[in-house]
Structure 1
């Protein structure tokens, strides 16, 4: 009888532990979904965004989680999606961006093509300045409305991050 009770207690303890781990893993997986918002023109702030994306991906991967990261460009964020100088527009490239453009483009390319980050550009912003679609970096998906894309992702459980 003593062994029987011991077996029951062990089984109950195992059940609580197992179901607790399943719940924790499920909650962790839900937290591995993040959308970053770039609507600013500062290359240093954008660089910090790219670093943050890399860091959060490293964290999730170290926790054996598969992160799903989206990066959405709106407004001034357009500057970081093209080599076009955007002359005559509010988004025109300046010396600070031109100095770092190749480095930033390379880092974005690595996040998209090596790390699997999904990148979106607001097509409304692109169209507003008359930037041809073929001038946007390869791999960037055009979305009808960048802010709507962010709202949709948030409604699907994505956490919203914007680097200040």
Structure 2
């Protein structure tokens, strides 16, 4: 075999460079696209908790648990949040909230330990995010330290729900 002349080697360089560049772009596209899709949950749901009834709250927790079980059985990534507004604050503290519109009644006092355990299990085991309206909390003077672990404070609960629906594509569920 004869060695290729320098002129022939130089003529092949642009073609080789183009092939190398296209290969690099292909690998970059393959490397980054699946990661971006994997980061976005397949299901996004926000529950609105603005009620006082412990039985209704229990039904909501059952609904969320069933949803989380389904998505996990299907190996689907899910982002579930509960936004607590007004009376919903009753389910995020052991404080009886005496002399406030949200004061704990006997039914809540009897069910509080069970409801807290179920809620904390959803947060710690299933990654359900708990978000409390800061307007509600501050209006009744409840210290942030009196609120359960895993709770994030948001400036306005109803604004948060609107943002999750409009900007982030969350489905809205309210248990009646």
TM-score of the aligned structures, taking structure 1 as reference length: 0.81
Alignment of structure 1 residues 108-123 onto 2, 5 Å: 108-123=119-134
In structure 2, what is the equivalent of residue 142 of structure 1? 153
Aligned equivalents of 2:41 and 2:75: distance in 1? Answer: 13
- Counting matched residue pairs gives 137
Structure 1 moving runs of 4+ over 2 Å: none
Aligned to 2:75: 64
Distance (Å, rounded) in 2 between the aligned partners of 1:44 and 1:143: 25
Q: Indicate the residue corresponding to 1:87 in structure 2.
A: 98
Structure 2 unaligned spans of 5+: 1-36
Structure with higher Rg: it is 2
| Residue aligning to 1:162 | 174
Query: Are residue 107 (structure 1) and residue 118 (structure 2) matched?
Result: yes
Larger relative contact order (Cα-Cα within 8 Å, sequence gap ≥ 6): 1
Deviation of 1:31 after TM superposition, in Å, equals 5.4
Q: Cα RMSD over matched residues?
A: 1.3
CA contact (8 A) 2:42 2:77 kept: no
What is the distance in 1 between the residues matched to 2:47 and 2:158?
11
Other-structure match for 1:127: 138
For 1:148 and 1:106, how far apart are their aligned partners in 2?
A: 28
1:40–1:75 CA contact under 8 A, matched in 2: yes
* Superposition TM-score, scaled by structure 2 size: 0.75
